[in-house]
Amino acid sequence: MEYQAELARWLERAVDDPDLAAELKAVQNDPAALADRFYRDLEFGTGGLRGVIGAGSNRLNIYTIRRATQGLADTLNASGLPKQVAIAHDSRIKGELFAREAARVLAANGITAYLYPRLEPTPALSWAVRYLGCGAGICVTASHNPARYNGYKVYGADGCQITPETASKVLAHIEATDCFDGVRLADYDAALAEGRIRLIGDECLDAFVDAVVKLRPGNDVSRLKLVYTPLNGSGLECVQKLLAKMGVPKGNVTVVPAQKEPDGNFPTCPYPNPEIREAMEEGLRLCDAVHPDLLLGTDPDCDRMGAAVPDGRGGYRLITGNEMGVLLFDYLCRTRQAAGSMPKDPVAVTTIVSTDMAGPVAQKYGVELRRTLTGFKYIGEQIGLLEAEGCPERYVFGFEESYGYLSGGHVRDKDAVNAVMLACECAAWYAGQGKSLLDAVNGLYAEYGWYQNELHSKEFEGQDGMRAMQALMAALRKTPPADIAGCAVERMVDYGPGGNGLPPADVLEFRLAGGGKLIVRPSGTEPKVKLYLSVRGASQEDADAKMAALRAGALALL
């Protein structure tokens, strides 16, 4: 049977985690299960690693973590960067174990590992990299993926996720490393005692929260009533610190009980993603009893934030990522202009898959709007470029449709702690105008048109799934559709060759007659193809009708 040699090697050598041997013995007579675990190495890209937790080269386990960290250590030691790495983890299964294993490898390679002593948000890791003067950072997280996943994000010295060029260097070292024989490994307790592994002190985390507080526009939030859910993840500590510093009374904040404590099994929602209504249902039910001004939810690594607001009919309405992005963008621009604090030649950044509504908002306030590829690392890169040009103050705001927001340069990744602050400030400001956040959203639609956006995806699991994804994209490139949902395709943009100031990406964009848009993009972190749909209507009813037609046409392409 194929993969028997690898199975035997792992059964003999993978002895440091008994879960792995038990899993392999359970599937040793299942050819498909073995193939899925061994047909490839878990892919390392610009986002690092992400995969199902388990045994084999195509799973996330202590051996694939060690191998990746050895590759990172070799890359860092060959560079002129500081030989220090900050490490964080969230509530994911085996997260603490994987973080410690990474620290052991770094310590054995002469690199000081700074380790958060408990779970902390991804943006707190981005902060720690620069605060501690590190050459790189590691965050053990699978963000909002289901419980069976974990991941390994790698950050550069600038606090951004690593560039494709750096990822290629790390990958070359990884490919030259055997996961059993090619990894240097220190004893954790000995390295900790000797200072080769160091625990990150509370002053670093407090400085992160203080940096977020400094970005406040400064509205009175003392009357706000909130329901908050960390979705069994890492956000609770920093969000509670933030709200206290902002002046939100502790008695005005109700944390969703079933989702308060860290739990990598995410028992209340299979997808702990605030983009998905199911993940927010516990909070929405609590809203019916508490009647807050805002329901706020952060994903397990606390880089995404979702929100719901009173709908005026006794219920609560979820705000989409695009709506929140435009709402906060408009709010920051109008309040900074009113206060005289808008910088000269201001810049905002969003992604090619985020709403086109950001364009007219930017035009109204005289803001240069830059669009990047999907992934907040590219937004962080733009902040770094402005800083290198000596004008970091030009950066006003960045957002992506997948519920990521950032209003300052304190970190180089999306920051849900920052987003919670902005949502509270925005709600308080509109309350002072006698309006709710839903009033504000509807006001923007009335001013700019009813932009509507949807995301749909199709999963392609396993070895055959990857081939099917590649075949789909190849077919669309070879024979692009002449029309979608009866709307002529006026222009197809293939981001594969690069250009327009953007690096190459496996993304296709179809611009349609009437202003519609469809973007097709294989996920960089999950085995799925994503479809981003966009329309603009003269009214909500008009937008709904256009979206229904585009949805049917787009899904037919799959």
Q: Which residues are catalytic?
A: 143
Beta carbons of 307 and 422 less than 8 angstroms apart = no
Q: Within the chain, how many helices (H) and strands (E) appear?
A: 18, 21
Residue whose C-alpha is closest to residue 89's, from 104, 99, 102: 99
User: Residue 121, Cβ neighbours under 10 Å: how many?
Assistant: 34
Q: Which amino acid is at 13?
A: R
Distance of alpha carbon 87 from its chain centroid, rounded? 17
Q: Measure the CA–CA gap between 553 and 558, rounded to whole angstroms.
A: 10
* Contact indicator for 512, 488 with CB cutoff of 8 Å: yes
Residue 133 backbone dihedrals phi, psi, to 5 degrees:
70, 45
Q: What is the DSSP string of 432-482?
A: HTT--HHHHHHHHHHHH-EEEEEEEEEE--HHHHHHHHHHHHHHHHHS--S
The interaxial angle of helices 202-213 and 416-432, nearest 10 deg, is 30
Q: What is the chain's length?
A: 558
Side-chain-facing half-sphere of 175: CA atoms under 13 Å: 10
